[in-house]
Amino acid sequence: MHFYRPKPLPDNYDSLQIIKSNDLHWFINYRRQYYINDIKEPWQPILTEVISLGNPGDFPSFSALDLVFSERALNYLENLLSGSIEALPLKTLENSDFFYIKVLDKLDCLDYERSVWEQNSSGLVRVESYVFQEKLVKDRHIFWLPRVNHFIVSESFKELVERCSLEGLTFQQVT
């Protein structure tokens, strides 16, 4: 099975922007606490606005490292991703239904002996060639690579997005 790094397409589809600076600071801290420090804080819906390019899509760009699903995308993908994500509501000025996707499966699953990678001074890993530990990624359709600082999705995820004609996401194959 192949795995992919999903990336929103901010130049082609609408984006979401956090309106209030205190919400932005709260979100950055929330994200850091969860993904880096493994501290779980309760979610508070933050107010965003749609930056429209006239093409809404199903995965609006939100931040460089995060995924947001439209309600339509969530409806198609929630069965595949059940137990692996938490869909957290975002408020928009336009009353659109979008969800920040908090990935629950945080896996340090790189096979460091067979992957080609380097670590920077902050401890983050940049990977040139991914090899995963198969037993850890078996039956996983989305997961967070903590030391690499991004999401990975399965071929099944990619195929379902394509089959359902969901728009706004590109996939960089990593295995």
Say what the pLDDT of residue 121 is: 84
**Residue 115 belongs to what domain range?**
3-173
In sequence order, which residues have a C-beta less than 8 Å from that of residue 61 and are 6 or more positions away?
8, 9, 10, 13, 14, 15, 16, 68, 168
pTM over 0.85: yes
Q: What's residue 62's pLDDT?
A: 93
Q: How many domains are contained in the chain? A: 1
pLDDT digits (tens, 9 = 90+) for 68-85: 999 999 999 999 999 999
Residue 16 has a pLDDT of 96
Which pLDDT score, from 0 to 100, does residue 122 have? 78
Nearest 5°: phi and psi at 60? -60, 145
The answer to whether 168 and 1 are in contact (CB under 8 A) is no
pLDDT of the residue at 50:
95
Low-confidence ranges of the chain (pLDDT < 50): none
pLDDT value, residue 125: 86
- CA 79, 44, 85: angle at the middle one, nearest 5? 20
pLDDT at 38: 84
